Amino acid sequence: MTNVPEMFGSMVFNDAVMQERLPKETYRSLHKTMETGNELDINVANAVAAAMKDWAVEKGATHFTHWFQPMTGRTAEKHDSFISPQPDGRAIMEFSGKELIKGEPDASSFPSGGLRATFEARGYTAWDPTSFAFVKDGVLCIPTAFCSYGGEALDKKTPLLRSMEEINTQAMRILRLFGNKDVKHVWTTVGAEQEYFLIDRKLRDRRRDLIFCGRTLFGASAPKGQEMDDHYFGAIKPRISAFMKELNEELWKLGVYARTEHNEAAPAQHELAPIYTTTNLACDQNQVTMEIMKNVAAKHGMVCLLHEKPFEGVNGSGKHNNWSISTDTGVNLLEPGKSPHENAQFLLFLAAMIKGIDEYQEIMRACVASAGNDHRLGGAEAPPAIVSVFVGDDLAEVLSCIEEGKPYKGDRSGRMEIGVSVLPSIPKDSTDRNRTSPFAFTGNKFEYRSVGSSQSIAGANTVLNTIMAEELGQFADELEKAKKGDFNKVLNDLIKRTIKEHKRIIFNGDGYSEVWEEEARRRGLANLKTTVDALPAFLMEKNIKLFADHGIYTEKEMRSRYAILLDTYNKIINIEAHTMIDMTRKEILPAVSRYNGELTQTLESKMAAADRLGTDIAHNMEEETLATLSELCDRAMTEVVMLETLAAKTDFSDDLERGTYYRDRVIPAMNALRATCDNMESLTARRFWPFPQYGDLLFHI
């Protein structure tokens, strides 16, 4: 029987291990560095490194790596052995503080968006002591930030850490204004629900689209999809259960708070949800989770698909990013609270978030933009591209009463004012959930549902943290100027004005409706439907200023993110187009041709028999099918040649022109070719079709 408490965190050099293995003075010095961000003394670093190495070796580690998160959205690691040769020919295991603190990987071979050139290869990894080291596959993994020789951030972690420091600074200003002197630190917390598909590995290996692209580029719908709603929360099959059991054990060893697992809405789709933790740890742990999912699936003869839309016609996969803000005293600042003072503070933080989402809705959309997410957003329980905030009916009523200065229905005794005794207890989580909302308040947190299943959550949380820091900073500037005795009035006016000016972003209805799309346009909300539409938000003056003012990204770093994401989009579409061409020419058309040949032979035999007997054939299956398939084959040939011609174009002035061309010309051509080939699949005998079909992939396990 698994001893979960004993297993949990057993492969992590966590706080408990550090207290046990480090001298008290070393432990205190390390914690001071973690709290202040100051440089770690080399003597302390040497002591930590020695203890970390001894612990890792006991866990079976022979190598160490600076584990970092480049702009690929994945993780990177270069393994170095602990072995140190000795003059007498022996070897000992060594690990220094210098090796712990800093590494030097190649900085030119990762995406940099122009920050690095091939001849500018020097880059550095720097230990992030706020995220615990861990042992994975016999390697001590040390979470690190990654930057260039010139100091530019080349990773996802560095901007995230900067944003966490900034939101702490601004939130502390607000708390001090409310008289809170106990809190020493504020941080954001995240729980990222991870959706994924599991399919049989042998079937996957027979489909080049799944191998190269992570999604099916062809595929007629199976007779059954998810319309019966029988997979969602259904009994978990033994093979999947065995996978989930091992996945949990591996994640628990690495300190990942995996808690909830269940079947999702689409067949072969599942979800894992963790307990909330600080945003930095949550981002690191989600990266580990995606890697472990794939590794464990392979051990069970399966493949874990993290693409946002691996199968057409059924739900795609997201990564619902549950975000909140908390103090080191254990108070959730998005908890409505029961007393007037608590409510006033909550309403200020809520107003800041509403204002921030309204003012920076374009970058909110851009930070989740990807080729995969373009297929997912807008349907099947995924939110639309229009960014809006759901607050629920009760909270919407509270905000309306504040704006209009009228009594709240829960307390008719007086005007709705902030910071005075007539303010009622604000209900928590008393409304239904809105699964069509991109950004929904769900009781004591915001659920950002737009993040794609394969994406790093660092980008979205960096944006959320920075937006909140900006608005809290503005609020603090105004409130700090309030004269003694006027604080409540200034606070009330501030929240009232904020609600009035930014209520357009609040929407509690059906995000899928055409009525909402028209209403959003009338309100002046952005509707950035594709990645190509969304990414230029990185270059908007207000967004560059936002991140530069708070020290999160320099303008150069903002432009690099835009360039990297746009280049990635273009490369993905290019790979998908060429994969479609390859599969059509080498697999689909030859297979249909062989089937046509058999139909022709059968037809000739039937016609000869009918002639001998002097009979007529009223409905000749072979003749009708052959005629339809021949027409479809000719159409597919025309479409594949067209796609080849379009995909061959290379003379673009820049990547945006290329992306626009792919969106407007190449993708429609891909969709047309797919429709034709899917029609042929529905008419072709199963034994002739060259690769597994949707029914095989989704219902085989």
Taking domain 569-699, whether its CATH number is 1.10.1240.10 is answered by no
Question: Mean pLDDT, to the nearest integer, of 527-546?
Answer: 97
Checking if the pLDDT of 397 tops 60, the result is yes
Identify the pLDDT of residue 413. Answer: 46
pLDDT score at 253: 96
What is the C-alpha separation between 188 and 161, in angstroms, rounded? 11
pLDDT at 350 over 60: yes
Q: Is 340's pLDDT higher than 60?
A: no
Higher pLDDT, 569 or 400: 569
The pLDDT of residue 619 is above 70:
no
Residue 418 pLDDT: 57
Which of these ranges, 8-17, 274-283, 330-339, 454-463, has the smallest mean pLDDT? 330-339
What long-range pairs does 395-400 form, CB within 8 A, spacing at least 24? Answer: 395/350, 395/426, 395/427, 395/431, 395/441, 396/506, 396/508, 398/347, 398/426, 399/499, 399/503, 399/506
Q: Give the pLDDT score at 37.
A: 66
Does residue 420 have a pLDDT over 60? no
Q: Which two tokens stand for residue 213?
A: 């692209």
Task: State the pLDDT at residue 148.
Answer: 81
Q: Give the amino acid at 496.
A: K
Give the pLDDT confidence score for residue 466 in this predicted structure.
98
Q: Give residue limits of the domains in the chain.
A: 4-154, 164-553, 569-699
**What is the per-residue pLDDT for 62?**
94
pLDDT at 461: 98
Q: Residue 414 — very low, low, confident or very high, per pLDDT cuts 50/70/90?
A: very low
Is the pLDDT at 239 greater than 80? The verdict is: yes
What value does the mean pLDDT of the chain take? 90
Q: Token pair 């702009």 is at which residue?
A: 71
The yes-or-no verdict on residue 342 having pLDDT over 90 is: no
Percent of the chain's residues with pLDDT above 70: 91
Residue 120 clears pLDDT 60, i.e. is over it: no
pLDDT exceeds 90 at position 407: no
What CATH class does 164-553 carry?
alpha beta
- Residue 435 confidence (pLDDT) above 90: no
pLDDT of residue 57: 95
Cross-strand pairs, 81: 63
Distance CA 273, CA 308 (A): 17
Inform me whether the pLDDT recorded for 365 exceeds 90: yes
* Mean pLDDT to the nearest integer, 386-400: 89
Residue 430 has pLDDT above 60, yes or no: no
- Judged against a pLDDT cut of 50, whether residue 661 lies above it is answered with yes
The angle formed by the CA atoms of residues 283, 288 and 291, to the nearest 5 degrees, is 130
d(CA 605, CA 157): 69
Class of domain 4-154: alpha beta
pLDDT reading at 426 higher than 60: no
Q: For residue 332, list its beta bridge partners.
A: 326
Distances (CA, A) of 536 to 229, 484, 583, 655, 663: 39, 45, 33, 11, 15
Reported as a single tens digit per residue, the pLDDT across 556-590 is 999 999 999 999 999 999 999 999 999 999 999 99
Cα gap 419→599, rounded to integer Å = 81
Cβ pair 656, 630 in contact under 8 A? no
Whether 412 has a pLDDT exceeding 50, the answer reads no
- Tens-place pLDDT, residues 471-491: 999 999 999 999 888 898 899
pLDDT of 422 strictly over 50: no
Region 21-39 average pLDDT: 83
pLDDT value of position 380: 59
Whether residue 417 has pLDDT greater than 70: no
| Average pLDDT for 279-286 | 96
Range name among 345-349, 601-605, 647-651 with the lowest pLDDT average = 601-605
- How far CA 570 is from CA of 441, 664, 667, in Å, comes to 34, 12, 11
Q: Indicate if the pLDDT at residue 15 is higher than 70.
A: yes
Is the pLDDT reported for residue 285 higher than 80?
yes
**pLDDT at 1 (0 to 100):** 63
